[in-house]
Amino acid sequence: MDHLWSPWRMAYIRGEKQPVEGCIFCALPHTEGEQQIIARSQFVYVTLNLYPYNNGHVMIVPYAHIDTSEALSVEALTDLMLTTNKTLGALRKLYGAPAFNMGANLGRAAGAGIADHFHFHIVPRWAGDSNFMTTIGDTRVIPDTLDNTYRELKAVWAELYGTEGQS
């Protein structure tokens, strides 16, 4: 019998969360230590999703605490989309992903886990990546750790784009 291990999911299953004062997306770029931030630009930053749907699932998050993309300035929207394109390039290089789901859940009724701070998801996809675990067991198998994903994606980002714009 084969065993599948994803120990980082237990905190999510149990509903365990580290207490954060205020908004997690506002606090994240200002906390000390490795926080899974892949890149930073003038108006947004790229971070790993701690509860990914697939390997390489990232979010692009504005520094501004806003609840919808409609509240972003033209400059911030431009930065969001240019950073999205760079992120796609880095994910293609690292994973060879042939497809992506991209989007945002605006509001709690749309499924936003953090509805008060707009964030844009990018999920790499491969043909047949939904298997019996997802369809029958309501479980996703992520074949790599978040720490390894972070190291590899950050290295590819630096290779492709350097570290300009990084703080």
pLDDT digits (tens, 9 = 90+) for 113-126: 888 999 999 999 98
Report if residue 145 sits inside a domain.
yes
Report if residue 90 sits inside a domain.
yes
Q: Which of 30, 57, 65, 119 is catalytic?
A: 119
Report if residue 36 sits inside a domain.
yes
CATH label of the domain that carries residue 129: 3.30.428.10
b/e code 35-54 from CB counts within 10 Å (16+ = b): ebbbbbbebbbbbbbeebbb
pTM confidence score: 0.78
Asked if 3 is an active-site residue, the reply is: no
Report if residue 10 sits inside a domain.
no
pLDDT digits over 20-79, tens only? 568 999 999 987 665 689 999 999 999 999 888 888 999 999 999 999 999 999 999 999
Report if residue 14 sits inside a domain.
no
Domain holding 141, by residue range, is: 19-161
Domain count, the chain: 1
Report if residue 9 sits inside a domain.
no
